[in-house]
Structure 1
Amino acid sequence: MRDLMGMMKKAKEMQTKMQDLQAEMANLTAEGKAGGGLVAITLGGDGKVRAVNIDSSLMKEEEKEILEDLLLAAYNEAKEKIETVIAEKTQTITAGLPVLPGFKLPF
């Protein structure tokens, strides 16, 4: 019975920490750059693009396809950074509690 009570206590603590993490994630941002910094995208913890910065040297019609590729690369880099930070923070919160394989936190 003690094990169950201890596990319930840990689950409650984890729930509180997850709520704190979700609030923190709302303010989390990461910047992805491509093309040596010619294109930069700032991504929020919610996965939404917050800002796009394009160097004016790329504003040529014949380089449109290159610009599109650089935007994708910068976005993907920023998204990967956000996912890494979230995974690290989630792992510290769930340490000691069994989590089902494939179960993604936060909810």
Structure 2
Amino acid sequence: MFGDLMGMMGKLKETQAKVEATKKRLDTVLIDQASSDGLLKITLTANREIKSIEVDNSLLNDKEQLEDYLIINLNKAIEKASKVNETELAAVAKEGMPNIPGMDQLFK
């Protein structure tokens, strides 16, 4: 009994280390999002940290339009990054879980 418990604890620590390593790796995965007309480009990491925003000069003349572009494209970029982040972390977490009937349903 204690052997199984110690084995599980070791596996959980190993999984935790893999999750942390995956989080660090996701800092290097870049997500690009551009407006359909190319006037605004946003790059962020899969951990949802903004790395760059490029704004075409034509958008600088219309504050409201620029704000709309930023909101729309930042939300799209964050959604893409969140999907990558969640998929990667779920895969690592699922890999490290003990084989308990019904637990696999939590990661679908």
Alignment TM class, shorter chain as reference: 0.7 to 0.9
Secondary structure at the counterpart of residue 27 of structure 2: helix
Tell me how far apart the structure 2 counterparts of residues 41 and 65 of structure 1 sit (CA, whole Å). 18
Matched to 1:73, the amino acid is I
Q: Any stretches of 5+ residues in structure 1 without a counterpart?
A: 102-107
Matched to 1:59, the amino acid is L
Name the structure 2 match of 1:71: 70
Matched to 1:10, the amino acid is K
Q: How many residues are paired up? A: 98
Name the structure 1 match of 2:27: 26
Over 4 Å off, 4+ runs: none
Give me the TM-score of the superposition, normalised by structure 1: 0.74
Out of 49-58 and 1-10, give the one that drifted further: 1-10
1:6 and 2:4 aligned: no
Give me the TM-score of the superposition, normalised by structure 2: 0.74
- Report if aligned partners of 2:19, 2:93 keep a CA contact under 8 Å in 1: no
Name the structure 2 match of 1:58: 59
Q: Any stretches of 5+ residues in structure 2 without a counterpart?
A: 98-102
Tell me how far apart the structure 2 counterparts of residues 84 and 69 of structure 1 sit (CA, whole Å). 23
